[in-house]
Amino acid sequence: MLGTLSLVLAVVGIVVPVLPTTPFLLLAAACYARSSERLYARLLGQRALGPIIERWRRSGSMAPGVKRRALILAGVTFAVSIVLVGDLVLRVGLTALGGVLLAFLARIPTDA
């Protein structure tokens, strides 16, 4: 159940800027690896997600293109959210959260 909940949150995190996709995706993979070979294999078999999970499990890194897309998407999403939100406190919070997320993503190693 935790794996499926994490996967749902990861998918929602693709479009919701304050919900991190990658940690939930990796948690789902870890849960499935321990509880359901079928669901784990199905997750790894996904064309868009499987290689990312495999690379992370193998080397703790991201492909340069994946990292670049993640940084751009997170930056644009947070920037748009900050512009659209009228409340100053929310703007400051989104700015801080976006900065932390971008710093986290920037620190993830890349390999070719």
**Ranges of each domain in the chain:** 1-60, 61-112
CA 63 to CA 106: how far, in whole Å?
12
Helices (H), 36-87: 37-44, 50-59, 64-84
Is the whole model's pTM more than 0.75, yes or no? no
**Mapping DSSP to helix (H, G, I), strand (E, B) and coil, where does residue 20 land?**
coil
pLDDT digits (tens, 9 = 90+) for 55-88: 888 888 888 887 888 888 888 888 988 999 889 9
Give residue 13's pLDDT band: very low, low, confident or very high (50, 70, 90). confident
Question: Over 90: is that where the pLDDT of 20 sits?
Answer: no
pLDDT digits (tens, 9 = 90+) for 86-100: 899 999 999 999 899
